[in-house]
Amino acid sequence: MKLIRVRPSGQERTFGADELIVTKTDPRGILTYANDVFLRLSALDEDEAIGQPHNLIRHPDMPRAVFKLLWDTLRQQREIFAYVVNLAADGAHYWVFAHVTPSFDETGRVVGYHSNRRVPSRAAIAAADDLYGVLRAAERRHDRAQDAVAAGHDTLQRVLAERGRTYDELVWDISTGGRR
């Protein structure tokens, strides 16, 4: 399947609080499973999704630094939670609160990744988007992808230090509206 660059339409799509998006990938991030909620929101058929890189739904407004953090965490065989805006094949976008975990075989070797996503609150979306705006601004000051990722990562580390939070604590703060 040839990947076609989709332009964001600005149209937002959402899903129910009782729905769960589920995908599985191989260790390289190639989709091996996608449930019906994922297919509906991404505007893809199963045969268009399976065998493709999961980043086929990457929205251009998603900071690269967040994906660096995600992959760095997964390489350490740890789970991660993140707010993500995705781009559907028809140009619509949708926000998710993602939980991504490594999948292990009986010997403890990582054989892929499992992700389930829930619909985030409007307040969480606003808070994540505010943070991501700061990261995107840092990344856009650089032409080279590596420099942009490094700038976004450094900016995220600075924000965490200023707030006295770890990344996990920041995500929890966003999820709970700052209530402890």
| pLDDT computed for residue 1 by the predictor | 46
Tokens of 33: 């499973």
The domains of the chain, with CATH numbers, are 21-175 (3.30.450.20)
């705006």: which residue's tokens? 133
DSSP string, 123-141: HHHHHHHHHHHHHHHHHHT
| pLDDT computed for residue 5 by the predictor | 77
d(CA 116, CA 96): 9
Q: What is the pLDDT of residues 55-97, one digit of tens each?
A: 989 999 999 999 999 999 999 999 999 999 999 999 999 999 9
Q: What is the pLDDT of residues 15-46, one digit of tens each?
A: 999 999 999 999 999 999 999 999 999 999 99
The model's confidence at residue 4, banded by pLDDT at 50, 70 and 90, is low
